[in-house]
Structure 1
Amino acid sequence: MESKIKIKMGPIEIEYEGSEGFLKEELPALLSAVSDLYRESGVTEVQPTQRQPSTAEASKPITENNVANFQGTTGSLAAILGVKSGPDLIMAAAGRLTLAVGQGTFTRSQISNEIRSASAYYKRTYSNNLTKYLNQLVKAQKLMETGKDTYALSASEKSNMESRIAQ
């Protein structure tokens, strides 16, 4: 299966079109290398096509409109959030469905599909333990159960993710 990816960090831009297998195996290393290259480039000035936010804009609280427009994958959000466990990956999936896709609620099936899409983080045991993990997250009030097998990201977790993405 063919896949495409485009990564841009400041003046550094990388595009890839090719086998999905390569991306699944090499994406974490690629993201790390691009991040290192960007850091080493020492670029700190604003590019001519960008503008500095005004003081009023810079001090605005993070909101759905000015944060995210997060367009990454569950895997890229997992990297930002430092995912280490099944419940962590479920939260990254919930964050992507909420922030990138714009869904207020999502189903168990959608969560399952999202965690599987993050191949660098996914383990088969996460699917086997999905019910247990979802119950833990509901009890911890990180996810809200809005109906049978339907969930929403809690307001506090949504706010937490938005601030971590904005960093």
Structure 2
Amino acid sequence: MTAKVRIKAGPVEFEYEGETELAVADIKDLFSHIETLFKVPVLAEGGESHAAPQAPTPLLPAPSGDTPTVVGGPKLHVNSVAQKLKAKTGSEVAVAAAATLQIYDGKQTFSRTELLDTMKKATMHYSANMSGNLTKILGSLVGSKFNQISDGVYSLTSDDYQKLVAQLA
């Protein structure tokens, strides 16, 4: 089995493809090394500010090339994404928010906070109890529709990313 990892964080890029399997601990270690590069003054001034490095889903091919593409023309608001996906439950609104973040905002990963903030913007579909149930919602999605990259950092699975691109086209 071939392992693929591609990480781009500001001016720092790392790409690996090979037969060696990479464990989650290896990926976390790699992220910590890349984070230290942002402390190097020349790299830290790279023109973009980064709260945390963004990375593609480890060990999965990039969903559709180097970066996510906006489907169907102009960027859709999370309300429109949720409407197209017929989101009614907390899990469905979370998937709509994740799709908005990855497909339309171009993020490779998203934090728990980013997900919740985006869910709240789906005012026609979000209810306050979803915030209280976010741990349960994430627990049901991780492993089926979401990958957990690290503590509090997630991405859509490659299969679900592709399905959502098709649904939103």
TM-score with structure 2 setting the length: 0.58
Instruction: Quote the residue 1:138 is aligned against.
Output: 142
SS of alignment partner, residue 90 of structure 1: helix
1:15-26 map, 5 Å? none
Instruction: Tell whether 2:123 aligns with 1:98.
Output: no
1:56-90 CA-partner distances (Å, limit 9, x unpaired):
xxxxxx95447355511111100000001000000
1:44-66 CA-partner distances (Å, limit 9, x unpaired):
xxxxxxxxxxxxxxxxxx95447
Q: Which runs of 5+ in 2 are unaligned?
A: 1-62
SS of alignment partner, residue 146 of structure 1: strand
1:23-62 map, 5 Å? none
Q: Is the 8 A contact 2:77 2:100 kept in 1?
A: yes
Taking a change above 3 Å as real, the CA distance of residues 85 and 66 of structure 1, as seen in their structure-2 partners, is: closer
Instruction: Quote the residue 2:155 is aligned against.
Output: 152
Instruction: Quote the residue 2:28 is aligned against.
Output: none
Which of the numbers 158, 163, 166 marks the counterpart of 1:163?
Answer: 166
AA of the residue aligned to 2:138: L
SS of alignment partner, residue 126 of structure 1: helix
Bigger radius of gyration: 1
Give me the whole-angstrom Cα distance separating, in 2, the residues matched to 1:98 and 1:133. 18
1:59-98 map, 5 Å? 63=64, 64-65=68-69, 67-68=71-72, 71-98=75-102
Give me the whole-angstrom Cα distance separating, in 1, the residues matched to 2:145 and 2:135. 15
SS of alignment partner, residue 154 of structure 2: strand
Which is further off, 66-75 or 143-152?
66-75
Shift in Å at residue 100 of structure 1? 0.7
- Structure number having the greater helix percentage: 1
AA of the residue aligned to 1:145: Q
Shift in Å at residue 165 of structure 1? 1.0
Give me the whole-angstrom Cα distance separating, in 2, the residues matched to 1:124 and 1:94. 18
SS of alignment partner, residue 160 of structure 1: helix
Superposed CA RMSD in Å reads 1.8
Q: Which runs of 5+ in 1 are unaligned?
A: 1-61
Q: How many residues align?
A: 104
AA of the residue aligned to 1:81: L
Taking a change above 3 Å as real, the CA distance of residues 70 and 111 of structure 1, as seen in their structure-2 partners, is: farther
Instruction: Quote the residue 2:123 is aligned against.
Output: 119
Give me the whole-angstrom Cα distance separating, in 1, the residues matched to 2:117 and 2:69. 26
Which of the numbers 83, 95, 111 marks the counterpart of 1:107?
Answer: 111
